[in-house]
């Protein structure tokens, strides 16, 4: 299997799992991703951090955050005297969506790791961390959007 095929299959697999949750709550995939990102990464609570960590476009995050705020699923707060940075917080209304989303993420991990030994599971996550580190380093070098 080619790496690009693996990536496409993985994306399609995950999209297929989250689609029912998105439809159930009337969420776009981006809105779903933002809710789950904030739930799973409370230390990264600004739109800029979501954009950087998940490599989403600024316009998509901005539109989705606005929509989630209008629906009462997110609130934005300023901390201290810094009025440049809005920190995003999930509201109680987002709890059922986050719960269903985390269940989907858990199910995805169970399906992906089915039949793996504990050692293989450990190795998989070690390799994924190395791949992620390589991608992060590449981004830091500023090469992500260069023409080849």
pTM for the complete prediction? 0.84
Q: List the domain range (segments joined by +) for residue 20.
A: 3-112
- Does a structural domain hold residue 20? yes
Predicted confidence (pLDDT) per residue in 72-97, tens digit: 999 988 776 666 788 999 999 999 99
CATH number at residue 100: 1.10.10.10
Q: Which residues contact 17 (CB under 8 A, 6 or more apart)?
A: 104, 107, 108
Q: Which residues contact 101 (CB under 8 A, 6 or more apart)?
A: 18, 21, 32, 35, 36, 39
Alpha carbon distance 106, 19 (integer Å): 15
Predicted confidence (pLDDT) per residue in 24-79, tens digit: 999 999 999 999 999 999 999 999 999 988 889 999 999 999 999 999 999 988 77
Neighbours of 90 (CB within 10 A): 20
Count structural domains, the chain.
1
């Amino acid at each position: 299997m080619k790496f690009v095929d693996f990536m496409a299959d993985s994306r399609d697999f995950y999209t297929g799992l989250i689609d029912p949750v998105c439809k159930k709550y009337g969420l776009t995939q981006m809105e779903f991703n933002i809710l789950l990102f904030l739930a799973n990464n409370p230390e990264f609570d600004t739109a800029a951090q979501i954009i950087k960590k998940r490599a989403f476009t600024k316009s998509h995050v901005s539109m989705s955050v606005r929509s989630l705020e209008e629906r009462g699923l997110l609130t934005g707060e300023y901390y201290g005297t810094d009025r440049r940075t809005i920190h995003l917080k999930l509201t109680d209304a987002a709890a059922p969506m986050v719960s269903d989303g985390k269940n989907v993420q858990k199910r995805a991990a169970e399906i992906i790791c089915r039949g793996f030994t504990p050692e293989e599971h450990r190795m998989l996550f070690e390799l994924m961390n190395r791949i992620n580190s390589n991608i992060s380093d590449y981004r830091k070098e500023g090469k992500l959007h260069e023409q080849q």
